[in-house]
Structure 1
Amino acid sequence: MPSNVLPEIYRPSRRTVYELPLYACPVSAGFPSPAEDYLEGKLDLNQYLIKHPAATFFVRVTGDSMIGAGIHAGDILIVDRSLEPRDGKVVIAVVNGELLVKRLRMEKQKIYLASENSDYPPLVITDLMDFEVWGVVTNVIHPL
């Protein structure tokens, strides 16, 4: 089954604090202005991206089935297990022992996992499948 298989799972470090400057001014593509005048404070990305540290984990993506959602091979996803998986959310699911990233769809008493790439059909979840949602994807980290 072609899909985004997730081979690596990471836990966030709850002890790491790494604060970087946060500038409150808009970034100009034209004439530069003195940035020090706009220094707002420090930003710790752990606090900004991770709302529930004890329930959060990271996974690295392989495959291209979610490119329409801005999720590419090599990206790191931030996943929160404390959030309720709802229709339309991007989730990390386990189907028959395989970790997948897909958009959860629930319609007319049916559950299916939808790709964000027309090359991949939706996966209808049946009673014969071993299926579990591990968490809801909250953020995607990828290089430009």
Structure 2
Amino acid sequence: MITSKNLIFFTPKPSTSEGAFLLDTGISAGFPIPADDFEATKVSLDEELIKNKNATFFAKVKGQSMIGAGLNDNDLLVIDRSLQPENNKIAVCFIDGDFTVKRLKVDANGIWLQPENPDYPIIKITEENDFMIWGIVTNVIKKL
């Protein structure tokens, strides 16, 4: 496990279960749906959330800089290091000795790390920064 002031990283443990039941009729958030003919199949969250097992890591969010993107303190991020960074993607970055999660803003003038909370500053990446895009966030898992 790796810990920084903004993220706590760990590798996913292999699952030995066959998955949990999935009600594939959908759950209505409006009017109730009759439960007469639903089918239950098994679904593996490993298969749904992890596309490249060897390049996927989990990290817990520490802080509030990304609340506007729905990433809250203690949420669990699924990070894929095999994906190419792109403008507007949410990325885990290593900058000047620490990890952070921010939205990438890339254009002809440079790279910025954009928080999703107005209380936090935008970070302009310069040649003086020790900087690496470590991985791209693909999913977030929340506890209710």
- Give the fraction of aligned pairs with identical amino acids, expressed as a percent: 40
- Supply the distance in 2 between the matched residues of 1:41 and 1:132 (Cα, whole angstroms): 41
- Distance in 2 (CA, whole Å) between partners of 1:43 and 1:17 is 10
In the alignment, the residues of structure 2 paired with residue 31 and residue 86 of structure 1 have an alpha-carbon distance, to the nearest angstrom, of 40
Which position in structure 2 is the counterpart of 1:63? 63
Q: In angstroms, what is the RMSD of aligned CA positions?
A: 1.8
Secondary structure at the counterpart of residue 47 of structure 1:
helix
Check if 1:47 corresponds to 2:47. yes
TM-score by length of 2: 0.88
Number of matched residues?
Answer: 139
Structure 2: segments with no counterpart, 5+ residues: none
Q: How does 1:18-29 map to 2 (within 5 A)?
A: 18-28=18-28
DSSP-derived class of the 2:120 partner? coil
CA contact (8 A) 1:115 1:121 kept: yes
In the alignment, structure 1 residue 141 sits paired with structure 2 residue 127: no
- Compute the displacement of 1:84 (Å): 0.3
Report SS of the residue matched to 2:106: strand
With structure 1 as the length reference, what TM-score do the two structures score? Answer: 0.88
Deviation at 1:32, TM superposition (A): 6.7
d(CA) in 2 for partners of 1:120 and 1:44? 37
Answer with 45-54 or 18-27: which moved more.
18-27
